Structure 1
Amino acid sequence: MPESDIISWTDGAWTHEPAAVATSADHLDVTAVESSDAWRHTAYGFVHDTEHALLAPLTVGEAMDVSFRAPWDGQFDQAGIFVQIDEEHWIKAGVEYADGHLGLGAVVTDIRSDWSVGYVDEWHGSEITVRVSRWQDAVIVRARADDGEWRLVRVAPFDGDAAASAGPFLAAPTRAGLVVRFTRWTRSAADAELH
């Protein structure tokens, strides 16, 4: 991976304020508000626009990495990275705990949301890193646990002419008290290859 620059926790702006934030030199502990989520229309019929995402600019040709840990014990607890043009055009990618399994996936929203997910139960207890690379016409999502191999998660269409921001995100649709520890937030050159 290319050399990366650390992004300060103070360089971002929240889409929606979390219940609590505790900052130290090497991590950011964030507590989600109960019922926070991000989704638009598809299958469920609702619009949820209450996620907690700490966003900084992401331009074409850049990548952003977010690393984090969480207990993964509440239904639909989720964390990862959020990439946003506006409230109807965004991507959330990372992990979500649902029905007793930890799932790695992405929700890509272009007015309506879609969702792709696969189990990564072996990632329980790991530091998880999600990486997005912004190309002219796409966002490439990769993820890994600890220092493991990167997995390609998604290749999603994304408007290269639009201003966008990205950064750490979390949500807790069904409970209060989810605390995610974000351990790294960096920017680098976008991945040049898909494979």
Structure 2
Amino acid sequence: MISLSKNRWILVATGHFVLLFFLGQANHYLSSVGVQLFLIGMLLSFSALELSYSQGVLSIAPICLIIDSKTPFPFGYNLIACLTLFTIAHILRSRVRREVTASALATSILLNIGAFAAYTFGAIRYLGIESLHFVPLSMNLLASTLVVTLFNRIFFDTQTGVLSIFGINLAEEQREAR
């Protein structure tokens, strides 16, 4: 039997998959107006701020591989970009008060912008500069940032609530670690 306390990455990755499902649905309906949402920053932020490094990598890797299978970039590009951003966020998390909502929101927005930039530079490298247009690109970044701003707290609270159902109290563990 799998101990979910030690393998909490399974619960977090499941929550990430659920968010990706709803994101795919939203992008399907928003495609008629030319907007695509990009919410990788919330996934990276939760895993970097709330989990240990190994648990965070395990929760992010399957998500990145799923996204890799759907992008026109070489397979593994998304995995390398996201794990790089995750590692940077995990290293810098000691400078952020994780229990403060504004810190989580700022981290999510910064990681989302960083991932968006990585995807943009990847598109320039692998698809050519002529494939990008400034107005749709900036509109997608603005819409994604607004959605991250609106739903970051809900996402963090939902993930934390699901973990607490299985007896994992992240806030208590962080206090004990200090």
TM-score normalised over the length of structure 2: 0.30
Q: Which has the higher helix share?
A: 2
Select the structure of larger CA radius of gyration.
Answer: 2
TM-score normalised over the length of structure 1: 0.28
